[in-house]
Structure 1
Amino acid sequence: MTDTANDGALVLLSGGQDSTTCLAWALDRFPRVETLGFDYGQRHRVELDRRPALRRGLAALNPAWAARLGEDHSLALDALGALSDTALTRDTEIAMREDGLPNTFVPGRNLLFLTFAAALAYRRGLRHLVGGMCETDFSGYPDCRDDTIKALQVALNLGMDRRFVLHTPLMWIDKAETWRLARRLGGDPLVRLVVEETHTCYRGERGAMHPWGHGCGTCPACELRAAGWRGFVAEGVEEAPRGG
């Protein structure tokens, strides 16, 4: 537990690999950690169904984590889904757009997520907001950039007269290092939990069980997760989680 653990944190928990790793990261640092999920009509909303099992699994891994894990919250953002004509909110083929961004980009999503999270944190007396935004493996999403997050932190602090701190522990690491981070935080049991219980597939398919987890295996999210897994285990067989 580091000296940053002075007050509580709110973690944006989608039910995917990145947010689950971020929740473990927060539980390792802060004395009280609550979670928040958003239902915006996402095509892969099966990820939301994974959240209770992930919270239970993380609590079971470490008694200290169990003591720190607080309430779970869920917010419906139907308006975001209604406004968004994307491959994450419509049953359409995943492809690149003419502007170079993938059509999985939901405009304003992370800006809204963090704004609503700050409003909830304000009410709950939580100072730290933790999200899985990443500029290394981010498909070009502009609302995942470090500059965007820093600018939003300034705006939230000014607009709410608070001193929130926005944490993005995955910002400068790739998927292989995200797997390594999970291993450092919770050993093989946490890696197994991420493999077996999280959901990342954009198509919302639990599908077959691959070495890296469930999913269609062909969408950009599955390909990125699988490539990260290969980089993780390529360091040696000792890096792969043992069965059991």
Structure 2
Amino acid sequence: MTTEQTKRAVIILSGGLDSTTCMGLAKEQGYELFPITFDYGQRHKVELENARQVAAYYGVADRHKVISLGFLKDFGGSALTDETIAVPDMTKPQEEADSEIPVTYVPGRNLLFLSIATSYAEVTGAEAVYIGVNALDYSGYPDCRPEFIQKVQEVMELATRVGVEGKPLRIATPLGQWSKAEIIRQGMRLNVPYHLTTSCYNGEAEACGVCDSCRLRLKGFAEAGETDPIAYKQV
């Protein structure tokens, strides 16, 4: 366990709004930041560069790890990893879905992210792993629910040396019960660099403005009374 003066946190950093807000919150709480980003063959691969820019903004580019999980693209099964599955345009009428879980759900993604972030945390002596999951605006993803986080926390306590020694890692989900507007208000208070982030699932130079993630982001900025600093093709 690190001392209070040198406490450390691993941040799962996608380059998006939520994970970047986690960076700002962890910094405010006095943590040394150790960001980790995953390249899983996502359609919106542009976010990897956003994550690098965010890490540089916070002065921790030398600690930023980018981990390849290309097999998730090989598996497919998601609109984010399979180009033959369209990202839904939320401005158009949607057909009746067979499941409440959207096609942008990536099977096993957060389970893998947390497992690997746990390894990085043990090696660096971190005491917390921050992840920007949200139980309100979570788009129906099963691996963003509090129940999921609780079970992974239990596994981390059993499967790690620090857990066995009675100093378990903590999964921090500071955005868990906040609306997107509340997240943005906190981020603005902390001068989080939203101009360096992207949330778009389509992954082009300008955000599409019509995918689920873009719509949630735009709605959040509007409700927070703030202007989104990134460019959109359609608003």
Contact 2:72 2:81 (C-alpha < 8 Å) held by counterparts: no
Q: 1:168 to 1:31 in 2, by over 3 A?
A: closer
Cα deviation for residue 112 of structure 1 reads 0.6
Partner of 1:160: 160
Matched, 1:169 2:174: yes
Distance 1:99 1:31, change over 3 A: closer
Match of 1:63 in 2: none
Q: CA deviation at 1:105?
A: 0.4
Greater fraction helix:
1
* Aligned-pair identity (%): 35
Deviation at 1:155, TM superposition (A): 0.2
Contact 1:94 1:102 in 2 (8 A): no
Instruction: Please list the CA deviations of residues 48-85 of structure 1 after superposition, one character each: whole Å capped at 9, or x if unmatched.
Output: 011222223334xxxxxx7xx86111110112222232
CA distance in 2, matches of 1:150, 1:6: 26
Aligned match of 1:14: 14
Equivalent in the alignment of 2:65: 73
Q: Which residue of 2 aligns with 1:128?
A: 128
Q: Larger relative contact order (C-alpha < 8 A, sep ≥ 6)?
A: 2
In the other structure, the counterpart of 2:146 is 146
The answer to whether the Cα contact below 8 Å between 1:16 and 1:200 also exists between their aligned partners in 2 is yes
CA contact (8 A) 1:199 1:206 kept: no
Gaps of 5+ in 1: 60-65, 208-214, 234-238
Is 1:197–2:196 an aligned residue pair?
A: yes
- 1:34/1:70 contact within 8 Å kept: no
In the alignment, structure 2 segments of 5+ residues that lack a partner are 89-95, 163-167, 230-235
Map 1:45-60 to 2 at 5 A. Answer: 45-59=45-59
Given that 1:131 and 1:168 are in contact with CA atoms closer than 8 Å, whether structure 2 keeps it comes out as yes
Over the residues paired in the alignment, what is the CA RMSD in angstroms? 2.2
Letter paired with 1:8: R
Match of 2:58, SS? helix
TM-superposed deviation, 1:5: 6.9
**AA in 1 matched with 2:48:** L
**TM-score, normalization by structure 1:** 0.81
